[in-house]
């Protein structure tokens, strides 16, 4: 089992690698553009623990007592990123969820994120080449979503033994000490869904990340160590 300290360092390395790779794209996103900042953003409990630490250090734990963080009576997501990929690799078709909560994220204040430094990867990957406020649909460049999806899979894999769900649900669960009741169990990487024409676009991101050294081991070695 990888220690929480190392897991957080691995998350930071992943975030940094993705940010560097994404710089080559010219997105229209800017501060104040918050169309994607909804309560349907998903994350792992590993990422949630980073948010909890951030709030505690800032003396902001009371925010999680707000009704906005009340856990729903039933889970709103049923399929993690890795279980979704596994199903597709088996040739199974999965229906898209119809119960996304598109209300603004509780951490969104005056169109700005109040936990920006520790926002989960589900927030970091949102981007669009053209303004999407009017249509609500993001225009992503080729290969971008494939690369981001692989990193989502890495994060879930590294969070072995944790939970996966919406940010609001998991924070409610972590705050109450019952996160397992509001999320699905994380799963290991089953494989990837990278189309052949996307491979050259995604490969630089993965090569950079997997070669990064954290506490004496490469990211690739830590991924292997996290496999159950």
Indicate the pLDDT class of residue 97, thresholds 50, 70 and 90. low
Strand partners, 218: 213
- Taking phi first (over 0 means left), then psi (-120 to 50 degrees means alpha), and beta for anything else, what does residue 136 get? left
Task: List the one residue out of 99, 37, 72, 71 whose CA is nearest residue 171.
Answer: 71
Name the H helices within 92-213. Answer: 121-124, 144-158, 167-176, 199-211
- The whole domain housing 24 covers 4-226
Count: domains in the chain: 1
Q: How far is 150 from 189, CA to CA, in rounded Å?
A: 9
| Mean pLDDT computed over 133-143 | 77
Indicate the pLDDT class of residue 182, thresholds 50, 70 and 90. confident
Indicate the pLDDT class of residue 217, thresholds 50, 70 and 90. very high
Residue 226 pLDDT > 60, yes or no?
yes
Residues contacting residue 168 through CB under 8 Å, at least 6 positions apart? 39, 68, 69, 101, 105, 106
Residue 35 pLDDT > 60, yes or no?
yes
Q: What is the CA radius of gyration of the chain?
A: 17
| Mean pLDDT computed over 160-183 | 85
**pTM surpassing 0.85?**
yes
Tokens (6 digits) for 43: 């994350």
Residue % of the chain over a pLDDT of 70: 93
| Mean pLDDT computed over 43-72 | 91
């Amino acid at each position: 089992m990888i220690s929480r300290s190392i897991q957080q360092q691995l998350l930071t390395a992943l975030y940094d690698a993705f940010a560097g790779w994404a710089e080559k794209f010219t997105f229209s996103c800017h501060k104040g553009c918050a169309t994607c900042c909804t309560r349907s953003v998903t994350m792992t409990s590993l990422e949630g623990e980073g948010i909890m630490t951030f709030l505690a250090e800032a003396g902001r734990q009371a925010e999680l007592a707000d009704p906005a963080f009340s856990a729903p009576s039933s889970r709103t997501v049923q399929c993690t990123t890795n279980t979704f990929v596994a199903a597709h690799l088996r040739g199974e078709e999965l229906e898209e969820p119809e119960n996304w909560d598109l209300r603004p994220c509780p951490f969104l204040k005056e169109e700005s994120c109040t936990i920006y430094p520790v926002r989960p990867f589900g927030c970091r990957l949102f981007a669009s080449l053209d303004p999407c406020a009017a249509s609500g649909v993001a225009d992503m460049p080729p290969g971008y979503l494939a690369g981001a999806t692989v990193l989502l899979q890495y994060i879930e894999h590294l969070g072995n033994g944790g939970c996966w769900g919406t940010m609001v649900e998991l924070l409610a669960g972590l705050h109450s000490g019952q996160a397992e009741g509001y999320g699905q169990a994380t799963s290991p990487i089953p494989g990837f869904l990278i189309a052949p024409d996307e491979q050259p676009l995604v490969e630089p991101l993965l090569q950079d990340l997997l070669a990064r050294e954290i506490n004496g081991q490469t990211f690739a070695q830590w991924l292997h160590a996290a496999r159950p």
